[in-house]
Structure 1
Amino acid sequence: MKTQHQRSQAIDVLRGLTVALMIMVNMPGTPATTYAPFLHAEWHGLTLTDLVFPTFMFVVGTALSFTLEKYEGMGEAAVLKKIFTRTALIFLCGFLMYWYPFFSTEGGSLTVLPLSGTRIFGVLQRIALGYCAGSLILHYWKEKGALVFAVLALLGYWAVMYGFGDYTLAGNAQRKLDLLVLGEAHMYHGEGIAFDPEGILSTLPSIVNVLAGYFAGRLVRRLGASYETVAKLAMSGAVLTVLALCWSSVFPLNKKLWTSSYTLITIAIDLFTLSLLLYVIDMLGKRGWTYFFEVFGRNTLFIYLFSEVVATTFFLFKIGDLNVFDWIYLNLFRPWAGAYNGTLLWAVVYMLGCWLVGYVLDRQKIYIKL
């Protein structure tokens, strides 16, 4: 059995598996020829892709179960400095990623892209806010306070969404608040109208995913990889599944609104997955396949940021009438693999390219912590 201070290899693999899948679902050859599991649900519903981001939040929480203990002996000022510095760094990286490439050459002159049209919230920004809120809640209110917060956050979010709008794309309370606070120009427009799936209000339930990851990590640290750990994780997942499905009858599963029922079902699936990984990796000792995902797990946020910046760069430059990203798919993958398989293979190859970067960093013992 592992001691309280040992890391679980299963947690590292879960983190790496999440990053690998996140890169793949973000980089299809074209959404029009992408297999359904690798697309988000159009609105209500749940696909494999809809599980990726909440799992990222969950593994942020499992990491907290290790780092917060180290913080506690540093003194109040040092703890807050650690938390706020990391929060600001991750949030800034996310914001700069949306501002990238920073300059425009339209009109023949080099000009700075205006911040007036740059999206403020996004994936890294939500990770930053979830990390910050989860850390502060656990630091000041401890585990009992975190449980109370989780219950109140999920119920409170449901009340606000029900009381100040509906559950449609145009009429939900989250969109109304973002329009009021952020303004249309600073929001995501991929849904056809200004609507940010990582907006202000839905950050609240996403914090619960972080807290759930913390509790799972604490359980693994306390009990080690044992039948008791696996059983408790699986039973917790089963209870949350029932609650989520019952709740979804009145507050539908919806990733883009990050509904409370969606929060519970994604936590449940993460608990099931972690229990399975613990059993296979740490208890049965089947580790021959794990290194691939551990590479992703050792430079998690950096590899994700790298994947986004490189993809954006591909979209900026053109070969003929096509941007580089689409040209590669249409000329190197689609002709021989077909539309759907070519899309999948291009996403896999792109993910493997990012893995190679992580592999080189790991071999050089370079670990970039955002």
Structure 2
Amino acid sequence: MDDLLNKNHESQRLISLDALRGFDMFWIIGGEHIIHALAELTGWPVFNWISAQMHHTIWNGCTFYDMIFPLFLFISGVSMPFSFGKKVMTANVKNTFELPSEVKRKVYMDMLRRTAILIFLGLVVNGLFKFNGYENTRFASVLGRIGIAWFFAGLIYLNCNLKKQVIWFCFILIGYWLAMTLIPVPGFGAGNLTMEGSLESYIDRLLLPGRLHSKVHDPEGILSTIPAVATGLLGIFTGTFVKEKRYDPLKSVYFLLLAAALLILLGLAWDSVFPINKRLWTSSFVLFVGGYSIAFFALFYLIIDVLGWKKWTFPFLLIGMNSIVIYMAVEGVVNFGYTADFIFGGLINRTAEPIHLLLKSISVIVVELVFLYFLYRNKLFLKV
């Protein structure tokens, strides 16, 4: 464990960032099932409430589960100022937009490679190798959106100073809002924000090849990927603020929490005219979830990097440092449930039903962590 913490320290990565990524992914790889089982077992109001938060909102509104995807994209943005920092130091410049053109070209190629790999891996998760035919293949994906949004956020970061980055951020959110509310959709008119009648859904039906996730709409569609770039930019702003160290760490946390509260309030205010909606990735959703993302990061940064309470993070670090691998595995590449049942099923099946469900959920997490620990001990990390 100490080796893992030291590795993060030596590479100047924020331990809190990897831990937060692992915390974020924990709920996707099985943490949600533990909460559902606890709610059924105890009937306690707090577990019932948390269990209700472990489901996606049908349309308008937002739950904790709706925040998992944008939080991951936000984290990718936070890491960008740190990952590009070495190139800035090597080139002896102060900012990324001052990098020589030949250095930028190499960075662009690396970014394109990463984006292409994520798009491909997203297609694999969607069942590319089932060979069900072009018309039955879903081309939009979570990993694809992460790659594309990260790429364009990175282009803005590499070529613009902070003031211009903020202008881009505002332009994207306001432009998306105006487009969604003012451009008419054939048969529905302008400002229709339903699943079938929205401009985003219409463009998906018109331009997105293959199969859509919801027949008339895709939550990772073309137009709604544009505001996702703003989610990545929020992460870049946060990472830049922390990396520059203009204030002492504790004061930085205060400022981060203040910014988080402001964004949440702005998102709620915008919700009255442009509803918070994950499937449409509305501008109000970007601000609302962006505020919570900054708050989560600030708390992890305070506890882990400022106060130094690090040892408890080990399971989350295992997940966070191989997040793409475990995501693809649980999305269908590996059946951890079968393995857990093979190892622990004999003991678990002897317990009563409510406890049985809880132990089964925990056993899956245990198997996944053992798998990730094996990768870590053998220094096997998917570098994308």
Contact 2:16 2:304 in 1 (8 A): yes
Deviation at 1:347, TM superposition (A): 4.8
The answer on whether the counterparts of 2:208 and 2:222 sit within 8 Å (CA) in structure 1 is no
Identity %, equivalent residues: 30
Corresponding residue of 1:135:
154
Residue 172 of structure 2, aligned match among 153, 157, 182: 153
Q: Could you tell me which residue of structure 2 aligns to residue 232 of structure 1?
A: 255
1:188 aligns with 2:213: yes
Report the equivalent of 1:200: 222
Cα distance between partner residues in 2 of 1:8 and 1:99 = 34
8 Å contact from structure 2 (residues 253, 302) kept in 1: yes
The verdict on how the C-alpha distance between 1:25 and 1:280 changes in structure 2, with shifts beyond 3 A counting, is: closer
Structure 1: unaligned runs, 5 residues or longer: 104-111, 316-323
1:298–1:367 Cα contact (<8 Å) kept: yes
1:334, distance to aligned residue in structure 2 (A):
9.2
Residue number in structure 1 paired with 2:296: 273
Match for residue 136 of structure 2? 117
- 1:70 shift after superposition: 3.6
Distance 1:43 1:342 in 2: 33
Structure 2 match to 1:68: 84
Of structures 1 and 2, the one scoring higher in RCO (CA 8 A, sep 6+) is 1
Equivalent residue number for residue 360 of structure 1:
374
Give the corresponding residue for 1:169: 195
- For residues 52-103 of structure 1, the C-alpha deviation after alignment (integer angstroms, 9 at most, x for no partner) is 0010000110121212234454613211111111111111111122134x24
In structure 2, the CA distance between the partners of 1:306 and 1:71, relative to structure 1 (3 Å rule), is farther
Letter of the structure 1 residue corresponding to residue 77 of structure 2: G
Q: Does 1:17 align with 2:23?
A: yes
* Alpha carbons 1:29, 1:347 under 8 Å: kept: no
CA gap 1:342/1:55 in 2 versus in 1, 3 angstroms = farther
Describe the SS at the equivalent of 2:308.
coil
3-state SS of the aligned residue for 2:221? coil
Unaligned runs of 5+ in 2: 1-8, 41-47, 92-101, 185-190
1:1-370 equivalences in 2 (<5 Å):
6-24=12-30, 35-71=51-87, 73=91, 75-100=103-128, 102-103=129-130, 112-163=131-182, 164=184, 165-183=191-209, 185-189=210-214, 193-223=215-245, 226-310=249-333, 338=353, 346-370=360-384
Taking the aligned partners of 1:26 and 1:276, their CA distance within structure 2 comes to: 21
Deviation at 1:23, TM superposition (A): 2.2
- The CA distance in 1 between the partners of 2:366 and 2:180, in whole Å, is 40
Measured after TM superposition, the shift of residue 279 of structure 1 is: 1.7
CA distance, structure 2, for counterparts of residue 238 and residue 253 of structure 1: 16
How much does 1:256 deviate? 1.1
State how far apart, in whole Å, the 2-side matches of 1:334 and 1:225 are: 53
In 1, Cα distance between equivalents of 2:326 and 2:372: 7
- Correspondence for 2:188: none
Q: CA offset at residue 343 of structure 1? A: 6.0
The one-letter code of the counterpart of 2:242 is V
Structure 1, residues 230-272: CA drift from partner, whole Å, max 9, x if none? 0110111111111111111111111111111111111111111
User: Aligned partners of 2:322, 2:283: CA distance in 1, in Å?
Assistant: 30
CA-CA distance at 1:348 after TM superposition: 4.5
Distance 1:154 1:117, change over 3 A: same
Does the residue aligned with 2:158 lie in a helix, a strand or coil?
Answer: helix
CA distance in 1 between counterparts of 2:154 and 2:53 reads 33
CA 1:337–1:261 in 2, change beyond 3 Å: closer, same or farther?
A: farther
CA shift in 2, pair 1:306/1:177, >3 Å: same
**Amino acid in structure 1 at the alignment position of 2:205:** L
Alpha-carbon contact 2:195-2:216 (below 8 Å) kept: no
Determine the C-alpha separation between the residues in 2 that align with 1:128 and 1:334. 42
Q: Is the 8 A contact 1:27 1:350 kept in 2?
A: no
**Between 116-125 and 224-233, the greater mean CA deviation after superposition:** 224-233
Whole-Å Cα distance in 1 between the matches of residues 274 and 150 of structure 2? Answer: 26
1:16-56 CA-to-partner distances (Å, cap 9, x unmatched) read: 111112223787999xx993211101211111101100100
Specify the SS of the correspondent of 1:168.
coil
- The residue that corresponds to 2:99 in the other structure is none
